[in-house]
Amino acid sequence: MVMGFLDRLEKRFRRFAIPGLIHHVVVANASVYLLYYLAPEWIELIRLDREKVAAGEFWRLITHLSIPPHVNPFFLYFALYLLWIYGRALESAWGAFRFTLFYLVGAVGTTVAGLVAPGAVPGTAMASSANLNLSVFLAFATIYPDFTILMFFVLPVRVKWLGIFAAAGLGLELVFGNWTTRAFVLAATANYILFFWRPFLDVLRYRRRREGFRQKVVAPKAEAFHRCEICGRTERDDPALEFRVCPRCEGTRDYCQEHLQAHEHVAGE
C-alpha cells in the first residue's frame, strides 16, 4: 500500500523534513520576481540550462523552481498568498515530512523534464514553477473540497470546482500539447499521482461495491409484492389499493378489491 510505503519513508527519513517549506517557496518566488524588475539580466543566472548545468553551474537545478510567471504584481501577490494557505493546510494535514516529500517529487520531476524534454533546446531550456505550484493547489482542493474562495472578492466558489477546472486544463494540455508540454505536466503532477492514486482507487471500489449491494438488496425490495391477476395493478401503482387472495381459486392468486369477486374462479384439480 502507498500509505504504508510513505509511513516507512517517514519513519526512516523524518529528520530531513523541512518545517514551513511553503514559506521558503513563497519568499523565493517573490524575491525572484522582484529581482526580475530590478536587474532582469540576473534571471539568466538561475534559469535551467542544460549546457551550463553540464559545465558545473549546478545551482540552476534548484533556482529555476523559484522563477514565477511574468504576471501583474497584484495578481502574483494573491497567487502566492493562496499558495501559502494551501501549503500550510497540507503540512497541517500530512505533517512536515510528507509535504516536503510531495513538493520534492514535483520539483525533481519538473527539473528532469526541463533537462530531457524532447523540445527543450540546449541553452534555452527552462522549467516553470507554475505546474508545480498548481499541483499543491490540486492536493489542497482534493483534501479540502468545501473551502470557499471569493472570486473577484465577490463570488464565493468552492475550490472543488476550481480544482476540477484546473485538472481539465491539464488534461487538455496532455491531449493537445506537444511532447514537451506533456512531459512538464506529467512531471509536475507526479507528486499528486503518487499521493492520491490509491484514495481514488478506493473510491471507485467503494462505488462498485455500493452498486452491487443496491442491485442485490435494494432493487429486489423495490419490486411489487402484490399484483392483481385481472388488471395487473400493484401497490406501487396506488399505495391505497388493497389486495386479497381468493379462497375459491387454486393457489395464492392476488386480486384487488375491485376484482376480488368480479373474476372467473380458477378451480383446483
Q: Indicate whether 233 and 135 sit together in one domain.
A: no
Same domain membership, residue 138 and residue 51: yes
The model's pLDDT over 153-181, given as tens digits with 9 standing for 90+, comes to: 677 788 888 888 888 877 787 788 777 77
Q: For residue 83, tell me if it sits in a domain.
A: yes
Q: Which domain holds residue 55?
A: 2-204
* CB 103 within 8 Å of CB 21: yes
Kindly state whether residues 171 and 57 are assigned to the same domain: yes
Give residue 50's pLDDT. Answer: 79
Bigger pLDDT: 2 vs 251: 251
Q: If you average pLDDT over residues 119-130, what whole number do you get? A: 51
| Burial track 95-116 (b if 16+ CB lie within 10 A, e otherwise) | ebbbbbbbbebbbebbbebbbe
Q: What are phi and psi of 131, to 5 degrees?
A: -70, -35
Question: Do 193 and 267 fall within a single domain?
Answer: no
Residue 175 and residue 143 in one domain: yes
**What CATH number corresponds to the domain at position 66?**
1.20.1540.10
Residue 217 in domain: no
Inside any domain, residue 162: yes
Confidence bin at 266 (pLDDT 50/70/90): low
Output 224 or 120, whichever has higher pLDDT: 224
CA-CA-CA-CA torsion sign (260, 261, 262, 264): positive
Q: Per 3-state DSSP, what percentage of the chain is helix, strand, and coil (rounded to 5)?
A: 65, 5, 30
Residues 58 and 136 in one domain: yes
> Considering its fold, how many domains does the chain have in total?
2
* Type of residue at 58: F
The stretches of 117-152 forming alpha helices (DSSP H) are 130-143
Domain shared by 153 and 46, yes or no: yes
Q: What is the pLDDT of residues 60-71, one digit of tens each?
A: 888 888 888 777
In-domain check, residue 216: no
Whether 11 is covered by a domain: the verdict is yes
By the 10 Å C-beta count (0-12 exposed, 13-18 middle, 19+ buried), 55 is classed as: exposed
- The verdict on residue 197 lying in a domain is yes
| Mean pLDDT of the residues in the chain | 76
For 17-54, how does the pLDDT look when each residue is reduced to its tens digit (9 = 90+)?
A: 889 899 999 999 888 888 888 887 777 888 887 788 88
Tell me the average pLDDT across 121-135: 62
Residue 29 covered by a domain: yes
- Shared domain for 102 and 144, answered yes or no, is yes
Q: What are phi and psi of 157, to 5 degrees?
A: -135, 130
